[in-house]
């Protein structure tokens, strides 16, 4: 018992250290914003990375922690993005945005914060409706059904008859955006913190129980449908908020962009990070975005060396070829992802370090013993 209390205390200490590190990163970002060019690609990566981190964690909540293989993420992001855009376009801009629909029928604007939360709520409400039929399905069937619903949502938002609200297949633009990279980072961090709290609560344990064994979970008194619905709605809520952030990042919204490819991108991040690891998803999302937007960009532009030698293969589109190969290697050889189902925490790092130190010491003493034996 006492040992347990001690462990709890130490664990709490490490949690404070984790929080301090995250705050430190935010301060670092604020400093960098003041000393670097604001148009530097680094900030694009940070902004998009933070948004994708939130989307990946919300997908992980459903796929990794509740064991529901859903592919509807893009649909819920679309709902979030549109909700945000529709309700925040300033009144005087509406005439120009909705030029084919006489300025649309919505003639009020909401504050940005309210619109972002509403984006989440709308996505969760859709998840509630879709959940009734869809959550009775399992594994692959669930994936196909959610994928189908996401496509239906996309088609409906492009429907001409709804143009007075959604602007049909045209762009939505001129709504408020963020300039500082701190905004998406702070919102994403807050949302991820809430998801973490949920995962570590009684309900999170119930979700994990459903993932591990549905029949046993039900026999333990966990109402499967209700808990799946909860997980689905929570995940969609944060996907909606992520969609709103993405709308701000992209500065324009068009339903056509929210194809299933977007869901796969996020699924890929979840898999690379490790299914069932929040920190893995966050890490993977920054790495993924950095690789695709920044580090591998050079592959897309033809390069001619000083002596006139043109480097073969480098041309538009080659980046995607390399990227696919990298992903295949990851999936083949690191199928558990970067983190598996572990979390990146100072506590785990320190413990792991201690363990490996102990192992190293044992190994050295073993070697010495063997050497001595050989010498004798």
Partner 1 sequence: MSDTILRMDNVTMQFGGVVAVNDLSLQVNRGEIVALIGPNGAGKTTAFNCITGVYEPTNGMISFNGQPMLRNHPAGKMKKFYAGAHADKFTKAYVPQDEEALAAIAAAREAGDELTAANLQAAYDDAAEQRKEQALLLDPHAFSDKVIAPTPDKITKLGIARTFQNIRLFKSQTVFDNVLIAKHMRAKQNIFTATFRLSYKEEKRMREETEALLEEQNLIHLRNELATSLPYGLQRRLEIARALATDPQLLLLDEPAAGMNPQETLELTEFIGQIRKKYNLSIFMIEHHMDLVMEISDRIYVLDFGRLIASGTPDVVQNDQRVIDAYLGVSDDVED
Give the interface with partner 1 as residue ranges (CB under 8 A): 4, 194, 197-198, 201-203, 205-206, 208-209, 211-213, 215-225, 230, 234, 276, 341
Q: Looking at beta carbons only, is 91 or 216 nearer to partner 1? A: 216
Can you tell me the distance from the alpha carbon of 278 to that of 129, in angstroms, rounded to the nearest whole number?
Answer: 27
Q: At what angle do helices 260-273 and 278-290 cross, to 10 degrees?
A: 120
Q: Looking at beta carbons only, is 12 or 105 nearer to partner 1? A: 12
DSSP 8-state class, residue 173 = E
Can you tell me the distance from the alpha carbon of 45 to that of 252, in angstroms, rounded to the nearest whole number?
Answer: 18
Q: Looking at beta carbons only, is 43 or 237 nearer to partner 1? A: 237
**Is residue 273 within 8 Å of residue 282, measured between CB atoms?**
yes
Least distance (Å) from partner 1 to the CB of residue 158? 34
Query: CA 84, 90, 93, 95: dihedral to nearest 10 degrees?
Result: 80
Least distance (Å) from partner 1 to the CB of residue 276? 8
Can you tell me the distance from the alpha carbon of 105 to that of 97, in angstroms, rounded to the nearest whole number?
Answer: 12
Least distance (Å) from partner 1 to the CB of residue 368? 32
Can you tell me the distance from the alpha carbon of 265 to that of 284, in angstroms, rounded to the nearest whole number?
Answer: 11
Least distance (Å) from partner 1 to the CB of residue 347? 14
Residue 336: both structure tokens together: 């558990």
Q: Looking at beta carbons only, is 18 or 214 nearer to partner 1? A: 214
Q: Looking at beta carbons only, is 102 or 212 nearer to partner 1? A: 212
Q: Is 14 exposed, middle or buried (CB count within 10 Å of its CB: 0-12, 13-18, 19+)? A: middle
Least distance (Å) from partner 1 to the CB of residue 10? 14
Can you tell me the distance from the alpha carbon of 206 to that of 220, in angstroms, rounded to the nearest whole number?
Answer: 10
Least distance (Å) from partner 1 to the CB of residue 201? 4
Helix (H, G, I), strand (E, B) or coil at 223: coil
Q: Looking at beta carbons only, is 165 or 344 nearer to partner 1? A: 344
């Amino acid at each position: 018992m006492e040992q347990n209390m001690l462990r709890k205390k130490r664990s709490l200490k490490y949690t404070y250290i984790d929080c301090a590190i995250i705050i430190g990163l935010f301060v670092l970002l604020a400093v960098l914003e003041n000393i670097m060019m604001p148009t530097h690609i680094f900030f694009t990566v940070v902004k998009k990375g933070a948004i994708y981190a939130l989307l990946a964690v919300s997908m992980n909540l459903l796929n990794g922690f509740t064991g529901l293989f859903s592919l509807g993420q893009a649909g819920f992001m679309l709902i979030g993005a549109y909700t945000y855009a529709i309700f925040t376009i300033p009144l005087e801009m509406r005439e120009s945005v909705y030029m084919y629909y006489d300025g649309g029928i919505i003639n009020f604007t909401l504050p940005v914060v309210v619109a972002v939360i509403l984006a989440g709520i709308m996505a969760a409400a859709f998840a509630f409706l879709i959940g009734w039929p869809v959550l009775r399905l399992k594994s692959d069937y669930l994936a196909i059904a959610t994928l189908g619903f996401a496509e239906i949502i996309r088609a409906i938002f492009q429907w001409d008859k709804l143009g007075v609200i959604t602007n049909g297949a045209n762009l939505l633009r001129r709504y408020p955006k963020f300039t500082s990279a701190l905004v998406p980072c702070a919102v994403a961090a807050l949302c991820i913190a809430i998801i973490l709290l949920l995962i570590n609560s009684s309900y999170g344990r119930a979700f994990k129980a459903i993932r591990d064994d549905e029949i046993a979970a039900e026999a333990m008194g966990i109402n499967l449908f209700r808990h799946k619905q909860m997980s689905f709605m929570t995940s969609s809520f944060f996907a909606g908020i992520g969609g709103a952030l993405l709308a701000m990042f992209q500065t324009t919204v068009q339903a056509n962009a929210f194809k299933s490819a977007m869901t796969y991108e996020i699924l890929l991040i979840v898999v690379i990070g490790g299914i069932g690891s929040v920190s893995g998803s966050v890490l993977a999302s920054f790495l993924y975005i950095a690789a695709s937007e920044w580090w591998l960009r050079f592959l897309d532009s033809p390069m001619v060396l000083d002596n006139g030698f043109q480097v073969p293969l480098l041309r538009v589109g080659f980046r995607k070829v390399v990227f696919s190969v990298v992903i295949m290697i990851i999936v083949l050889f690191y199928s558990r992802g970067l983190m598996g189902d572990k979390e990146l925490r100072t506590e785990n790092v320190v413990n792991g370090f201690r363990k490996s130190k102990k192992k190293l010491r044992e190994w050295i003493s073993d070697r010495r013993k063997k050497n001595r034996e050989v010498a004798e």
